[in-house]
Amino acid sequence: MNKPKRYTITTALPYTNGPIHIGHLAGVYVPADIYARYLRLTGHDVAFIGGSDEHGVPITIKAKNEGVSPQDIVDKYHAIIKKSFEEFGISYDNYSRTSAPIHHKTASEFFKTLYNKGEFIEEITEQLYDEQAHQFLADRFVVGTCPKCGNEESYGDQCENCGTSHNATDLINPKSTLTGNTPTLKETKHWFLPLDKHEDFLKKWILIGHKKDWKPNVYGQVKSWIDDGLRPRAVTRDLDWGIPVPVKGGEGKVLYVWFDAPIGYISSTIEWAEREEKDWEPYWKDEYTKLVHFIGKDNIVFHCIIFPAMLKAEGSYILPDNVPANEFLNLEGNKLSTSKNWAVWLPDYLEEFPGQQDVLRYVLNANAPETKDNDFTWKDFQARNNNELVAIFGNFINRVVVLANKYYNGIVPEPFEFSQVDYETLLAVKAYPNVIASSIERYRFREAGQELMNLARLGNKYLADEEPWKVIKKDESRTQTIMYVALQIATALATLCEPFLPFTSVKLKHILRIGSGGVENSWNDIPSKEVLLPYGHQIGESELLFAKIEDETIQKQLDKLEASKKANEATHNTVEPLKEVIAFEDFKKLDIRVGTILEAEKMPKTKKLLKLKVDTGIDVRTIVSGIAESFTAEEVVGKQVTVLVNLMPRALRGVESQGMILMTETTDGKLVFVNPDSNAEVVNGLPIS
């Protein structure tokens, strides 16, 4: 696009059914904040917008489990999330909530605009209905087998195993999470956004227009969706928690959360503009505005296909210039899980590591899952703090400030003749703003953070090579020049570190006594100004910017995770309750035989599935089994197994599975085969009686 006049930056709206954890921070909020702070430092007009998503089905589930109202849940967690973001330094211009009146008004008007333009399809469809609960089942009230990868715990809207979005009615063997019953199909009326109508536009806009500037992981997922063919998507749901459908016939229905939530970016901007007495429309409707969505990979489809289709259908809005979605962050080698308490929660971190927000910001950015899933470990957290923040950045600043106070009572000395090394060092400092900016503007925040640390390395190397503590004994004028140059580097760091280490930037500026009406430097001053910190300027005493983190501190965090793991194992090992009693005649219908696995191969693009060729004695058949995480294909070939041979076939990932291998679990949750007696002579096809 042409040079932007302003930037609108949005972050995924977190569900208010729990606090923020490090996965959210690494995937969305830290990179977005780095970007917003950088743009402000470079003099741009920025609206950095966020808010809480308060209408999701997970909130109603949480409320039901806790015996309170959904409003109680969202009020509680909105306050926790907002406070955590503020304490962590996420510099929103506005953080709103989708239960706010301004959002209900904005979302309702947006829906009515599309409705009046004839942009929706109104259809009576069959939806899953729980007869016992007397209600239609929203997406997260249904679990079943994913039709694409075979994951048996897929939600009704999306499979968390393979990332595929689908409808609840696509699930195999769906179950109601409210009662555990198998739901029935019942007719209901809903409104649909015909995504297929916008397919040609999306192909041109994304697959051609953004082929070179969008991240490969984002582009690839969008291309896969478009190549698969887009279909109408429901924008309403049968629920009583949410924004009521504002047209005739919408009684008892609400706007689907994925229609309502992204409009929250717009309503939050309107709320901010009204408070600041600004016009909100240029931030969403001017072609010279750059709109950027920061999200996690599970939200790519909604921000790259559905929301742009909504904006295009409305007609007056700009489209996102980029959606730099990150992948997932794991914790100590395992997938983050809120339900299993396998997470590092932001409120806990802020309490247990007071004043160390920048340490977590730095480590999360250094390990950002920008193009693939990455891992957070407490040992790496400790190492990066001690070996980089303390030993490189903090060490350089401390040495410069201590020496300046020791030699010159904290007054910046007047330089004398610069050496070639001095010129090269000062020239290198001037280059860093553009180097770091280039990485940030290409959404390579991890790379940008390392370039910042390289500037601190430059300072350390300069001091180590020039050795002012030795030179002062024989050449005071040279020492003054060395210390002057070192203080210029420290001053550049005070400004350039702000997007990454905002609390450190404040501390360092306080030590150097810059800003707030005194000596001030913008990002753009560093490459252009000859002097960043003039001689004769008085600096303050040294303060430690970072503290070493000891082994005991890290062990406490590892112990917490170990306790969570043991609690999960204890829960997992709980004996399942007795299932419904069946008659002997029902049991006799099961045809269970001994078979031998002849061939095995991993199913492509799945984690759990193996495709097996099994000799049952009566035939050789294909069986798809979800055991790939417990066994390799090679180790199961030749195994004699117990097979349910008269199970109705079903398709898994396009392969018809003609039976079931019987498995059980050990007390530690490991899958094992239900084997025939190993001491008996076993014949394939022999029924088990």
- Per-residue pLDDT, 678: 47
Q: Token digits for 561?
A: 């995770």
- Per-residue pLDDT, 680: 46
- Per-residue pLDDT, 276: 97
- Per-residue pLDDT, 1: 62
Q: How many Å apart are CA 141 and CA 132, to the nearest integer? A: 13
Least confident of 189-193, 378-382, 423-427, 587-591: 587-591
Amino acid at 132: Q
- Per-residue pLDDT, 585: 73
Cβ contact 543:504 at 8 Å = no
Cβ contact 613:657 at 8 Å = no
Cβ contact 395:464 at 8 Å = no
478-521: per-residue pLDDT in tens?
A: 999 999 999 999 999 999 999 999 999 999 999 999 987 678 99
Closest by CA to 682, choosing from 624, 653, 641, is 641
Cβ contact 225:64 at 8 Å = no
With a cut of 70, say whether residue 576 has pLDDT above it: no
Length of the chain, in residues = 689
- DSSP 8-class letter at 391: I
DSSP tally for the chain: helices H, then strands E:
24, 25
Strand partners, 611: 601, 624
- Per-residue pLDDT, 342: 95
Closest by CA to 143, choosing from 151, 135, 132, is 151
Contact residues for 121 (Cβ-Cβ < 8 A; gap 6+) = 191, 192, 193, 194, 232
- Per-residue pLDDT, 637: 86
- Per-residue pLDDT, 562: 94
Confidence of residue 404 (pLDDT cuts 50, 70, 90): very high
Cβ contact 136:238 at 8 Å = yes
With a cut of 70, say whether residue 593 has pLDDT above it: yes
pTM for this model (two decimals): 0.82
Q: How many Å apart are CA 356 and CA 434, to the nearest integer? A: 28
Residue 407, SS3?
helix
- Per-residue pLDDT, 126: 86
646-666: per-residue pLDDT in tens?
A: 988 888 877 888 999 998 776
Helix 420-441 crosses helix 445-466 at what angle (to 10 degrees)?
A: 170
Phi and psi (nearest 5°) for 552? -60, -40
Tell me the mean pLDDT in the region 256-264.
95
CA 368, 369, 374, 380: dihedral to nearest 10 degrees? 0
Check residues 582 and 87 and name the one with the higher pLDDT: 87
For 380-398, b where at least 16 C-beta lie within 10 A, e where not — what string? Answer: ebbebbbebbbebbbbbbb
Confidence of residue 674 (pLDDT cuts 50, 70, 90): confident
- DSSP 8-class letter at 93: S
Check residues 394 and 574 and name the one with the higher pLDDT: 394
511-552: per-residue pLDDT in tens?
A: 999 987 678 999 999 999 999 999 999 999 999 999 999 999
With a cut of 70, say whether residue 682 has pLDDT above it: no
Q: How many Å apart are CA 149 and CA 159, to the nearest integer? A: 9
Q: How many Å apart are CA 405 and CA 472, to the nearest integer? A: 14
- Per-residue pLDDT, 374: 96
Q: How many Å apart are CA 164 and CA 298, to the nearest integer? A: 9
- Per-residue pLDDT, 166: 81
- 236-237/289-294 β-pairing: unpaired
Residue 625 CB burial class (10 angstroms; 0-12, 13-18, ≥19): buried
The angle at the Cα of 134, spanning 131 to 137, to the nearest 5 degrees, equals 85
Amino acid at 515: G
With a cut of 50, say whether residue 26 has pLDDT above it: yes
Residue 685 CB burial class (10 angstroms; 0-12, 13-18, ≥19): middle
Give whichever of 156-170, 444-458, 656-670 has the largest mean pLDDT. Answer: 444-458
Q: How many Å apart are CA 197 and CA 184, to the nearest integer? A: 31
Tell me the mean pLDDT in the region 619-647.
88
- Per-residue pLDDT, 144: 92
With a cut of 90, say whether residue 162 has pLDDT above it: no
- Write down the residue that tokens 């304490």 correspond to: 87
For 27-62, b where at least 16 C-beta lie within 10 A, e where not — what string? Answer: bbbbbbbbbbbbbbbbeeebbbbbbbbbbbbbbbbb
For 299-312, b where at least 16 C-beta lie within 10 A, e where not — what string? Answer: bbbbbbbbbbbbbb
With a cut of 90, say whether residue 59 has pLDDT above it: no
With a cut of 50, say whether residue 586 has pLDDT above it: yes
Q: Token digits for 135?
A: 């209600």
Mean pLDDT value across the chain: 92
Cβ contact 648:639 at 8 Å = no
Q: How many Å apart are CA 216 and CA 218, to the nearest integer? A: 5
Q: How many CB atoms lie within 10 A of CB 275?
A: 10
Q: How many Å apart are CA 138 and CA 168, to the nearest integer? A: 8
For 82-114, b where at least 16 C-beta lie within 10 A, e where not — what string? Answer: bebbeebbbbbbbbbbbbbebbbebbbebbeeb
200-220: per-residue pLDDT in tens?
A: 999 999 999 999 999 999 999
